[in-house]
Chains A and B, each alone.
Chain A
């Protein structure tokens, strides 16, 4: 039994850094810039991320820890880690896998809508599917490019051949997800994941679900019964966005509405209001210091004596000692401490007098360049 336990511990030690590193890797903020196209190209394939993470974790766990510190502030992270990874003993322990599987061995391609312009896709091709393709295509398999073929299937029942148009996105060979710049609000989309052979032929491996991207502006369709003149609708549209009843209905204004809508200024802060204790500091220099003083007044007398401090009665501990703690503002504090014996025969008064005076200065030690 003892040996078994030792083996288990060893396994844990080996596995733990991998797990930590994986968690860290995922926290890395997306470097997705405003340039949408650039972002798609930069997308790191998920497969690469994971394998690289594993290697790094095994060889250099120290670097991992440092990366974590940078991310959150060391202490918070340290606590989170300790509290999460060292459970108090549970009633019924069971050896569980440490991480989610990297693949599920299934053939699946899914499209998701991110916004009117962008789609997200993820996929997985089962090993046996790859194998049979390899057997079938022989050399062509190895020279083929992996491609997402995105079909515009608006208002049709797609049969694989009747799309309005399609475009191809070449993806990294080991990628398992991709953001697609579909660029067409109010359209329906379907995608194939497949191989583009050097002969130009496209071989579909997976076909996705069909999704519809939303409109980014009012519909052109009007209901006869609920018809509304363009001018009136335009004003209503402006008012709905909070621009008041005088908002003109021009293209420029529509653009302004759109910007207001998509800026995120009115998006729900959601849980962020509960979970972000640290204030976001402005980008300028953020150096700061605070100093304050507190005064501890303590003493002891007979446990049954009556004691007042600055005229106010205080409670003694059972052994007759007492401690008081005050913030000490600038100026003089006269603190008479008076004790009276329980039989009201004797009195002692001790009066500390404390003065606080604070001086401050602030200067730049050298030129600071904003670059």
Chain B
């Protein structure tokens, strides 16, 4: 009989980056890298466990923007080109490293990885979302949704209509993708503002997540800390809180597993290391060096001197770390079980892109963890929030605190000197969108198209990613331009609709560029 539960949550998200007007767009690489290094390797872990009849539960959010990109034919075609070019490069690498066997074996490892990625990609007819859906239909994964474009809800409080639109568009998009309504949501940036749960309720969503202090600082006090969910007052939507102990072990840059010296060094990529003319066809056509994904070194130590990567060492480290993680969870759960007198749930959410992309061995670690939980012990059971709520219907009622999992735990990451200028413009656009919906309760034809596109542009401008990027300081001009362009397009549409002079050709052009959410209904913004 188990003494508690482990709920692993992987938040998979990328902003909507799709530029048909440009053949090779730097920021689109985020998607291609994440497919090769994270999404497909995670699928291998899950599909492998199913094949070996290893039972598991993982909760995974696939954001509407990510799903839209993964199912977009243009981006699928571009990914196919991308992976083919990596296969070609790794063939060249095998030849180039002929006299360095320790590197040649790694080049071969990458060749196999890329070929396998390509096979998986083609096996699922280039749409890997269907593979995740199959795993959900088998009951192994619980896929949850997110804000339509990952808008940060706590900074939309004067235009709640936009919060509602973010949730509704996402829930409808989820239903169209997975054939049922979403039961849970990952609030963008884990950002919760008291009262937003009512919009989740409206969309039929039963649970969401907060950072630890979201539930710990709720009113009244949560009897079980972060180790049981609370029902939000009025809405009855359940809030699960992040357990910081398990987060720290994986995530902390100081104590976390990914910093182990045997693991692969992220920063030594041949895209930066190799001779320019040789690597040029595989980096950005304008000559900017970028990551290719082929990295030959292990972290080795704190200095700049790096030793070649040894996959076997790394693999045994991943196994060791999975064992250590499990051991700590068992101790934690055993103690808590006696201490609080019921089965605790330990919620461990991570950015999915941490696994494989940053922490190359992350998927292996997860694989070991799942298998160890299944074969080696009975203390802990993996669970999804839906299953937990079905088993534990009685939970404390409380109002969680405003919180996020961003820098310093609240809004500061998205509200600082570099990005605070966006909010008056976003606010104006939201206000205008609400006004349009009121003025045109049942628009048809080209007006309807224009209104739908206006909502698309507004939602795209609201992505928290742009403010986040402005805050971090790399790719800033891209983020600034995305914000401005979507807002300018929105404003133009607003003026056109108001003046009853919609430019059909231009509308068609931006419908083709910002083609997210084909079934959107502008009336959700109210």
Interface residues, chain A, CB within 8 Å of chain B?
A: 23-24, 26-32, 43, 46, 71-72, 75-77, 79-84, 87-88, 90-92, 94, 96-97, 99-100, 104, 106, 108, 110, 112-116, 120, 122, 124, 176-177, 209, 211-219, 221-223, 225-228, 232-233, 235-237, 239-245, 260-279, 288, 290, 292, 294, 310, 324-329, 333
Check A80 against B25 for contact (C-beta < 8 Å). no
B: which residues have CB within 8 A of A? 11, 14-15, 21-23, 25-27, 30, 33-34, 92, 95-100, 103, 154-155, 157-158, 189-190, 194, 212-213, 216-227, 241, 243-248, 251-254, 267, 272-273, 275, 278, 284, 286-288, 290-291, 304, 332, 335-336, 339-340, 351, 353-354, 357-358, 396-398, 401-403, 405-413, 415-421, 423-425, 427-428, 465, 468-470, 472-478, 480-481, 484, 487-489, 491-492, 503, 505-506, 508-509, 512
Q: Which 3 A-B pairs have the closest CB atoms?
A: A30-B417, A242-B245, A92-B505
B478 touches A262 (CB 8 A): no
In addition to A28-B418, A32-B416, A274-B14, 18 A-B residue pairs with Cβ atoms within 8 Å of each other are A84-B477, A92-B506, A100-B484, A113-B411, A114-B415, A212-B194, A212-B402, A218-B216, A219-B219, A226-B222, A240-B212, A240-B227, A243-B245, A264-B407, A270-B465, A270-B468, A272-B472, A288-B304
Q: Do the beta carbons of B225 and A110 come within 8 Å of each other?
A: no
Complex Cα distance, B27 from A17, in Å, reads 24
Q: Which listed residue, A94, A120, A269, A290, touches B503 by the CB 8 Å rule?
A: A94
B221–A110 touching, CB < 8 Å:
no
Output the nearest chain B residue to A50 by Cβ-Cβ distance. B421
B246: chain A residues at CB < 8 Å are 242
Asked if A79 and B223 make an inter-chain contact with CB atoms under 8 angstroms apart, the answer reads no
> In the complex, what residues of A have CB within 8 A of residue B470's CB?
26-27
Contact between chains at B475 and A275 (CB < 8 Å): yes
| Distance of A273 Cα from B401 Cα, bound (Å) | 28
Complex CA–CA separation, A96 to B481 (angstroms): 14
Which residues of B have CB within 8 Å of A272?
468, 472, 474
Q: Which residues of B contact A239 (CB under 8 A)?
A: 225, 245, 332, 336
User: Quick one: which of B15, B27, B247, B474 contacts A266, CB cutoff 8 A?
Assistant: B247
With A80-B475, A239-B245 as contacts: A267 and B407 at CB distance below 8 Å: yes
Given the complex, which residues of B lie within 8 Å of A92, measured CB to CB? 503, 505-506, 508-509
A260 CB contacts on chain B under 8 angstroms: 244
Q: Do residues A270 and B351 form an inter-chain contact, with CB atoms below 8 A?
A: yes
Residues from chain A with Cβ under 8 Å of B217 in the complex:
214-219
Which residues of the partner chain B approach A23 to less than 8 Å between Cβ atoms?
476-477, 480-481
Contact in complex: A275, B474 (CB < 8 Å): yes
Q: Are A274 and B403 in contact (CB under 8 A)?
A: no
A326–B96 CB distance below 8 A: yes
A-B pair number, CB within 8 angstroms? 308
- Closest B residue to A235 by CB, please name it: B339
Indicate which residue in A27, A76, A233, A242 contacts B248 across the interface (CB closer than 8 Å).
Answer: A242
| CB atoms of A267 and B418 under 8 A apart | no
* Complex CA–CA separation, A32 to B408 (angstroms): 15
Quick check: A237 and B225 within 8 Å, CB to CB? yes
Assess the A112–B155 pair: CB atoms within 8 A.
Answer: yes
A226 touches B474 (CB 8 A): no
Find out whether the CB atom of A242 lies under 8 angstroms from the CB atom of B402.
no
The winner among A72, A76, A83, A96 for most chain B CB atoms within 10 A is A83
- Which residues of A are found within 8 Å of B474, using beta-carbon distances? 72, 272, 275-278
Residues from chain A with a CB closer than 8 A to the CB of B418 are 26-30
CB-defined contacts of A274 to chain B, threshold 8 Å: 14, 30, 33-34, 353, 357
Please pick, from A71, A83, A225, A278, the residue contacting B286 in the complex, using a CB distance under 8 A: A83
- Taking CB atoms, residues of chain A closer than 8 Å to B503 are 92, 94
Known: A270-B406, A294-B275. A275 touches B472 (CB 8 A): yes
